[in-house]
Every structure is written in structure tokens, then in C-alpha cells.
Amino acid sequence: MPKLKMFFAGTAGLLLTLSPATARVSDQGDGVPVVRPDPQIVAALKAVSAQHIQQTIEKLVSFQTRHTLSSDVPASSGKGINAAAEWIRSEFESYSKACGGCLEVKTDEFTQEPGPRVPRPAKLTNVYAILRGSDPANASRMFLVTGHYDSRNSETNDATGASPGANDDGSGTAVSMECARVLSQHRFPATIIFLTVAGEEQGLYGSAHFAKMAKVQGWNIEAVLNNDIVGGDRTPADTKQDSHTVRVFSEGIPATASEAELKLIRALGGENDGASRQLARYIATVSKEYIPATEFRPLVVFRRDRYLRGGDHTSFNEQGFAAVRLTEYHENYDHQHQNVRTENGIEYGDLPKFVDYDYTANVARVNAATLASLASAPAPPEKVRVLTKALQNDSTLVWEASPGGLASGYLVLWRDTGAPDWEHAQAFGNVRQATVPVSKDNVVFAVQATDSEGHRSLPIVPVPER
Ligand SMILES: [Zn+2]
């Protein structure tokens, strides 16, 4: 990994070389940038508890099945998906009580009409909690974490047989809930939504309904983190598992790109720079800032999802939102979508004993660090363009101010077109235009808004302006 070069052009013209692990910077007013993590985020990550995550997953498993089609079984029976939904709701309420009522706990309930894996109309309930942003000028900006709380076994439509779903996706549900628990102890300028959805195993129905609602109602969701199978399966015989790595999948070309946008992507080599891909890189960068890479690291995979598999992030991509999927490094298919049984000495079934709770806690830390960093940061700059009218070897970028008033400066990022991640950054003050001594033909540029404490927005890749 090359070192990230930092140039400070806005102040004393300092040239620094920082490793990406310490790329959070601030300017103390004397032109000397200093590195420091945000103490509020450090405190939140410290509060993430593997033990609490274990309790959450074991409780989810205790409902015996959380199959979406079990929604005709009353919650009072203590079994089935309705009982699970009520419990998740009550947990969110208890986290809210612990922060003076800071969370708005809500449900999104609807009837799913019959489809390939839904033989009869089924009631679906998404359960979510909103930590409203503390800054009126930024509270409409939203960041969302999700996991699916429905489960299944070997039979797609078996709504009564045991479906523990500890890893798939009790783990992702627990990550969303744990983020709610620890982040609700803090306040952020922008809004964070903690979502748990139903209907994933029957065809992404819960997330599709929620994403469409968000789109129709004009929610300004800047990023979605979908956690699905983040239990870090720890079967003793599995030597391929990496308990220090979580994969982050992201689409390259946005699902909703228009013909004109696709034309631009083809012309300029934009295949690797969609908004979801930028989010994936951001997650990797923030993780390096807050979690030692030797302990845990995201592995960015340049692919929307695994072969033949899908997930709830795609529902959000299809409504035009930036969304990624986090999944354990090495999946064990004996422990996904399987009836609980032992055959030829092999244990099948998605049981809690195969979940590595320390691993899931680290995934929760990656999520919490990303959500808190983004919700603390200024909005991205708007209408970012690179000027292409004149043939010249310097590059000039122009943009409109980050809305919301949090930005105190901007970073211009760039990398070689063949490089996977940003390699260089040049800091500018509160300006709307910057020229860097690099040819736009040779690199990919982006612009980030920054505040005085070093929080950084998602990067925006410029479009050409003639
Ligand atoms: Zn799943």
C-alpha cells in the first residue's frame, strides 16, 4: 500500500507524507496539521460488546424460526417472526430509554403480495430506530445500517421448522442493533438510522419496500451499510477462515445510471468510481484510522455481491442510493440455509455455536466508526467538475460549497487510474476552485469536504466541464 501524500496548499504550503492509517488531520491554526482520532468515536467503539452481541444473537435464535411466512403466528406464542420483531422493537426502546428518549423507534409494516417464494399474501414488518441529527442544517442527511432478521432452513418456504439463523442474519441484525446501542450515547450533526428488515430470504422484499419508501419520500440517504453473514463462522476444521478480515462488496457502475451517465463512464473510465465504490473505500480508510489493521480490516471487493447471491444493499442501489454489503471472509455453506442435523459426522445448521462473537463485534466497530465519521462530517461538495476546455497539463477542479455549513475546507484526492485506492490528497481552504499540478488524463480525481476537526465527507468524482 503506497503512502498517502498530503499537501497543505491552503495554509503554509506544507508537504507531508502520512500513512493512510493516520490520515485524519486537522489544522491548529499555525499551518501545522495534526493527526488525531475523534474521541467521541473512540469511546463509542470501546462500548461495542461481544458479550452483548452474543446475547442478541442467542435471543434471536430462541424464537426457533424467524421465517417471513411465520408472520401469521401471533407474537404472544413467543415463536416466529412476529415475536422476534416485537423483541427487536423493545430492545430499541430500551436503548432509547438509556439515552433520554433519543431514538425514534418505528415499524414499516406492509402486506407482500404473492411471488415466487411467497405463496400467499404475507405481512412483513421492518423495525428501525432513528437517531436524529443534532444540527438542523444537517439532520436531513441520513446514514443507514441494516441487517435482515428473517431466517430460513433447507426448504425455502418452511415457515415452521427450526431456522436458527444465528449467522444469516442474526449477526447482521445484531450489528445494526449494537450500533444503535453504542451510538445513541452520543450526538451527531446528521441522522443515523438503525434498520432490521424482514423478507430477505424470500426475495429482498423488506429492504425493497423500505428503500422505495425512502426514495418516494425524498429521504437524503448518503450511505447504506448492509451486514449479512458477519458471524465469522468458526468451524474448527475450517482453516480458511480469516478472523481479522471482513469483505466489503460494492457495485462499480450504479444500477440507476442513465444512458448519458453510462456514456460518460465508458468515455472516461468511470467503471470503478460509482458512489457505492467510494463508500467502500471510505469504510476501509475509516477502519484504518480507528482499528489497528493487525486486529481487523475490511477487504474491499470490486463486485456487487458474491456469485449467484444477492442482498439488501441491492434494493437500495436500485433506488439510486450508495450501498455496500459486509460479509465474513470465508463462508461455510453447511451452516447457511440448512436444516439442523448431523450427517456423516458433519453438523449442519446455522447455530450460535459457530458464531465468533469477537469477530462480529469488530464488524460492528467498522460499521459504527463509518456511521459516526460520516454523520459527524460535512456534506459532500456539490456540482464537482473538472475543467476540460483548455489543453493543459495542470488540472483545475471547481465545485459548489458543501451545504449545511460544517465544511471549513476541501481535500482534492487523486490516484493513478490503475490504483485501487486514493493515493494523494491536497488540502485547500474554504474555496470553490483548486488547481493541482497533475494531468487529469492520467489520474482519477475526487473532492471531499472537511471540517476543522478532520471529519471528511464522502468523495465526489468530478464530471467534465467544457
Ligand atoms: Zn442473509
Alpha helices in 391-445 (DSSP H): none
- Write down the pLDDT at residue 5: 41
Q: How far is the CA of 201 from the centre of ligand 1 (A)?
A: 7
Contact in structure between 143 and 221 (CB atoms under 8 Å): yes
Q: How far is the CA of 400 from the centre of ligand 1 (A)?
A: 40
Q: Which amino acid is at 268?
A: L
Q: How far is the CA of 168 from the centre of ligand 1 (A)?
A: 5
Q: How far is the CA of 337 from the centre of ligand 1 (A)?
A: 9
What is the total residue count of the chain? 466
Q: How far is the CA of 247 from the centre of ligand 1 (A)?
A: 14
DSSP string, 342-402: EETTEEES--GGG--HHHHHHHHHHHHHHHHHHHHSPPPPEEEEEE-SS--SSEEEEEEPP
Q: How far is the CA of 366 from the centre of ligand 1 (A)?
A: 19
Q: How far is the CA of 395 from the centre of ligand 1 (A)?
A: 44
Q: How far is the CA of 68 from the centre of ligand 1 (A)?
A: 13
Nearest CA-CA partner of 148 in 306, 281, 336: 336
Q: How far is the CA of 171 from the centre of ligand 1 (A)?
A: 9
Kindly state the helix (H) or strand (E) to which residue 396 belongs, with its residue range: strand 395-400
Cis peptide leading into 158, omega within 30 of 0? no
pLDDT tens, the chain, 466 aa long? 344 444 433 333 333 333 443 344 444 443 334 446 999 999 999 999 999 999 999 999 999 999 999 999 999 999 999 999 999 999 999 999 999 999 999 999 999 999 999 999 999 999 999 999 999 999 999 999 999 999 999 999 999 999 999 999 999 999 999 999 999 999 999 999 999 999 999 999 999 999 999 999 999 999 999 999 999 999 888 889 999 999 999 999 999 999 999 999 999 999 999 999 999 999 999 999 999 999 999 999 999 999 999 999 999 999 999 999 999 999 999 999 999 999 999 999 999 999 999 999 999 999 999 999 999 999 999 999 999 998 889 999 999 999 999 999 999 999 999 999 999 999 999 999 999 999 999 999 999 999 999 999 999 999 999 8
Q: How far is the CA of 183 from the centre of ligand 1 (A)?
A: 24
Q: How far is the CA of 95 from the centre of ligand 1 (A)?
A: 25
Q: How far is the CA of 456 from the centre of ligand 1 (A)?
A: 31
Contact in structure between 37 and 289 (CB atoms under 8 Å): yes
Q: How far is the CA of 109 from the centre of ligand 1 (A)?
A: 20
Residues 6+ apart with CB under 8 A from 214: 221, 316, 319, 321
Give the three cell numbers for residue 144. Answer: 443507514
Contact in structure between 149 and 174 (CB atoms under 8 Å): no
Q: How far is the CA of 170 from the centre of ligand 1 (A)?
A: 9
Nearest CA-CA partner of 231 in 339, 361, 346: 361
Q: How far is the CA of 278 from the centre of ligand 1 (A)?
A: 24
Q: How far is the CA of 169 from the centre of ligand 1 (A)?
A: 5
- Residue 405, classed as helix, strand or coil, is coil
- Write down the pLDDT at residue 238: 81
Q: Which residues pair with 323 in a beta bridge?
A: 224
Q: How far is the CA of 240 from the centre of ligand 1 (A)?
A: 21
- Write a three-state SS string for 248-269: EEECCCCCCCCHHHHHHHHHHC
Q: How far is the CA of 264 from the centre of ligand 1 (A)?
A: 34
Nearest CA-CA partner of 419 in 1, 111, 21: 1
Give the integer Cα–Cα distance in Å for 213 and 261: 25
- Write down the pLDDT at residue 466: 84
